[in-house]
Amino acid sequence: MDISSKTTARPPVDDVQPVAPVDKAAARGATRPGDRIFLGFSRGSGIALLAIMAAIAAFLTYRTALALADNTGNFLTTFEWDPAGSSTGGKPYFGIAVLVFGTVVSSVIALLIAVPVAIGIALFISHYAPRKLATPIAYVIDLLAAVPSIVYGLWGALVVAPNLTGLYSWLDDYFGWTGVFEYNGGAPRSLMTVGILLAIMILPIITNVSREVFLQVPKMHEEAALALGATRWEVIRMSVLPFGRSGIISASMLGLGRALGETIAVATVLSPSFLINASVLDYGGGTFAQNIASKFNEASEYGQDALIASGLVLFVITLLVNGAARLIIARRKEYSGANA
Amino acid sequence: MSTTTPTPPGPLVERPATLKAATLPRWSPLAVALGSAAVAVGIGLGAGLHSRIQWGLIAALLFIAGSYALAVAVEGTRQARDRLATSLVWVMFLLAVVPLASLIYETVQRGIKVFDVYFLTHSMGVLSDEETGGGIYHALIGTLQQVLLASVIAVPIGLLTAIYLVEYGRGKLSKVITFFVDVMTGIPSIVAGLFVLSFWILILGFGYSGWAGAMALAILMMPVIVRSTEEMLKLVPNELREASLALGVPKWRTILKVVLPTAIGGITTGVMLSVARIAGETAPVLLLVWVNPLINTNPFEGSQASLPLYVYQQYAAGTDASYDRAWAAALALIGFIMILNLAARGIARWKAPKTGR
């Protein structure tokens, strides 16, 4: 891109005829027809991307407006999902209260499990693993990201869930009194199981982003700590973690974005219900994406509009979470660039 | 400043044999690991715990506590804390490997049962859920066509956008595009599906088809392609561009003939990884392609099937025969995606741009 800066310093080659001076606009290359067409196409593609984002927001909002116009329940606080109006005599009655609860609870569980593990793995790759092992290990973590979510769902429903009854009974025995870990038997297809599965699924993205940040820590900081006699853990605690804090935060938010929108794995594992249950081990709750996937097949056109309305809420939430995460990362880039 | 040397600085004659503080031998973590695993198995058998997850947890806890206690006794608290962190980090890493290993093991072991040539070359037809037999031929066709169509839409737009961002973009527009591409990476797949549903099916009135699914997949694919292509174009040395421009080659031909060929390996890798990503997407396909147990080779007309959707549907059927089919199809899907991944990485290594000065 810096065409002018370096080339001028070179000595001119003798046998090249001096070209006639051209005006500046032509020299910049944007006036040749080929250049103009090409620039038009590439700029057009970029604008097309923006247009798609705008169209997503516009169309979803339009269908949402159609759905909400006839809704007799309060969209935000209603606990039922009955757009066909089967229990209210044909009047649509639906709201997202349960979905908000289920989505938040399962994503928070996923984050609580995934963030410490991901930081551990990122540290392992950047500071602990033997040099030769670091690349293959990073590749193994990438493989976790490559597994399709439906396979996670199948595995979670048929392999993980049956193995969790023991753990849940144990939690119930010792922590059941808190109310959060009450378990009444039955197939463990609860928000907790979903949270565990989501944690595995968002592990790679949190690990990868944190690892990038940990590798950016100035070597001087670490060497200074080592020279003062710090152990490896003290180096990490004093120089790596403080430097990487904002990176960890934005990595977690990117993971949160993934967890909020995960559809098919949740739809496979969860036994949804439109009851809110204080215990995360028992049935209760659903998530936005899961509700759309499970209710879609039997929905009428109006029912589909109602699902689109809940999808719009999900879209806005993930947009905010992802946008915030990206802004934090972008600020970090400038900072570390000045530091290097 | 070491606090671990217990000997005070005394007269010369009392100098200790070595200046180093007492350290544990190198094999001690391994020994502690083996010991705690053995004890955990003993506890598990003794207390009659059935869940192997619990066995693993007990072993991990024993390992952490054991190595900490040992280090406190021999090396002092600071070293012990360091060892505690080390063993925690190792445990975290193993925690992440266990699910991956279990997932691949279970998929292969349960999927291999009905995975054969018949399974790959037959559709479900009118088979009921309880019957054995049937296959994924129709789903394979559907997935391949949808992914191909999605790539046809997404690859040109993605490549051109990346070219704009790297070769032309300096102003506000490119900053806005970069930000929204980043945000777009995080769009839940089901939202992309709902968008195509709302405008293509509900407003324009077209039916469910492979093409509708392909459009949603293309939306998911574009930002991934833009990001990876951008990274690759940035790696192309500026000298190449300058040399070409200095010879009087127009900028657009410089990009097409010099910049793109130099980065083509990395770009191919990015495209293949994005294909691998969308090939496993179920949610948009569920909303837009519907389910068709029969072979439909026309992606523009009528409902189709797709591999991930097939897994979901066979799982939902809930019979033994359909579970077997679901696992076998999951095996096929994972195999397809892993091959794409490995091939993509192979190409990346083979055609890596030479960045040396």
The secondary structure of A41-97 as a DSSP string is HHHHHHHHHHHHHHHHHHHHHHHHHHHHHT--S-TTT---EETT-TTTTS--EE-SH
Band the pLDDT of B17: cuts 50, 70, 90: low
Mean pLDDT to the nearest integer, B52-58: 75
**Predicted confidence (pLDDT) per residue in B182-227, tens digit:** 888 889 999 999 999 998 998 998 989 999 999 999 999 999 999 9
Shortest CA distance from B98: residue in chain A: A200
The interface pTM score, or ipTM, of the predicted complex is: 0.85
The predicted pLDDT at position A9 comes to 45
Å between B265 CA and nearest CA of chain A: 19
For residue B17, the tally of other CB atoms under 10 A from its CB is 5
Q: Report the C-alpha gap between B281 and B228 in whole angstroms.
A: 20
Q: What angle do CA A44, A46, A52 make, to 5 degrees?
A: 100
The predicted pLDDT at position A6 comes to 44
* Amino acid present at A224: A
The answer to whether A144 contacts B341, with C-beta atoms less than 8 Å apart, is: no
The predicted pLDDT at position B50 comes to 65
Q: Which of B96, B168, B190 sits opposite A311 (nearest CB)?
A: B190
Q: Report the C-alpha gap between B187 and B195 in whole angstroms.
A: 11
Q: Report the C-alpha gap between A68 and A90 in whole angstroms.
A: 15
Domains recognised in chain B with CATH numbers: 23-111 (no CATH), 137-350 (1.10.3720.10)
Q: What percent of chain B has pLDDT over 90?
A: 40
Mean pLDDT to the nearest integer, A166-195: 84
Is B87 in CB contact (< 8 Å) with chain A?
no
The predicted pLDDT at position A10 comes to 47
Three-state secondary structure call for residue A273: strand
- Name the residue with higher pLDDT: A3 or B147: B147
Check if the beta carbon of residue B36 is closer than 8 Å to that of residue B62: yes
The answer to whether B161 contacts A63, with C-beta atoms less than 8 Å apart, is: no
**Predicted confidence (pLDDT) per residue in A311-321, tens digit:** 999 999 999 99
Å between A284 CA and nearest CA of chain B: 20
The predicted pLDDT at position A336 comes to 39
Tokens of A335: 């900072």
Is B89 in CB contact (< 8 Å) with chain A?
yes
Band the pLDDT of B103: cuts 50, 70, 90: very high
The answer to whether A308 contacts B242, with C-beta atoms less than 8 Å apart, is: no
Q: Cβ contacts (< 8 Å) between A129 and chain B: which residues?
A: 93
**Predicted confidence (pLDDT) per residue in A188-220, tens digit:** 888 999 999 999 999 998 998 898 888 888 889
Mean pLDDT to the nearest integer, A250-254: 89
Check if the beta carbon of residue A75 is closer than 8 Å to that of residue A95: yes
Q: Report the C-alpha gap between B136 and B158 in whole angstroms.
A: 31
Q: To the nearest 10°, the Cα dihedral for A142, A135, A335, B225?
A: -40
Three-state secondary structure call for residue B170: coil
Band the pLDDT of B68: cuts 50, 70, 90: confident
Is B208 in CB contact (< 8 Å) with chain A?
no
The answer to whether A124 contacts B92, with C-beta atoms less than 8 Å apart, is: yes
The predicted pLDDT at position B146 comes to 95
Q: What angle do CA B130, B136, B140 make, to 5 degrees?
A: 155
Band the pLDDT of B41: cuts 50, 70, 90: confident
pLDDT over 90 (residue B357): no
Three-state secondary structure call for residue A298: coil
**Predicted confidence (pLDDT) per residue in A295-340, tens digit:** 888 888 888 999 999 999 999 999 999 888 888 877 655 443 333 2
Nearest to B188 by CA among A309, A262, A254: A262
Interface test with B, best of A64, A150, A198 (most B CBs within 10 A): A150
* Amino acid present at A262: E
Which of A110-119, A174-183, B117-126, B157-166 has the lowest average pLDDT? Answer: A174-183
- Residue A133 CA, distance from chain mean position: 27
Q: What percent of chain A has pLDDT over 90?
A: 38
The predicted pLDDT at position A111 comes to 95
The predicted pLDDT at position B217 comes to 95
Nearest to B281 by CA among B342, B337, B200, B226: B337
Shortest CA distance from A153: residue in chain B: B312
Band the pLDDT of A149: cuts 50, 70, 90: very high
Band the pLDDT of B9: cuts 50, 70, 90: low
pLDDT over 90 (residue B352): no
Mean pLDDT to the nearest integer, A81-102: 85
Q: What is the mean pLDDT of chain B?
A: 86
Q: Report the C-alpha gap between A252 and A245 in whole angstroms.
A: 11
What is the distance between the terminal CA atoms of chain A, rounded to a whole angstrom? 22
Q: Cβ contacts (< 8 Å) between B167 and chain A: which residues?
A: 1, 42
The predicted pLDDT at position B247 comes to 94
Q: Report the C-alpha gap between B262 and B258 in whole angstroms.
A: 6
- Name the residue with higher pLDDT: A166 or B12: A166
CB interface of A with B, residues 194-253, below 8 Å: 200, 203, 207, 228-229, 231-234, 236
- Name the residue with higher pLDDT: B352 or B333: B333
CA atoms within 13 A on the CB side of B301: 3
The answer to whether A261 contacts B191, with C-beta atoms less than 8 Å apart, is: yes
Three-state secondary structure call for residue B234: helix
Q: Which of A59, A207, A229 sits opposite B1 (nearest CB)?
A: A229
Shortest CA distance from A289: residue in chain B: B190
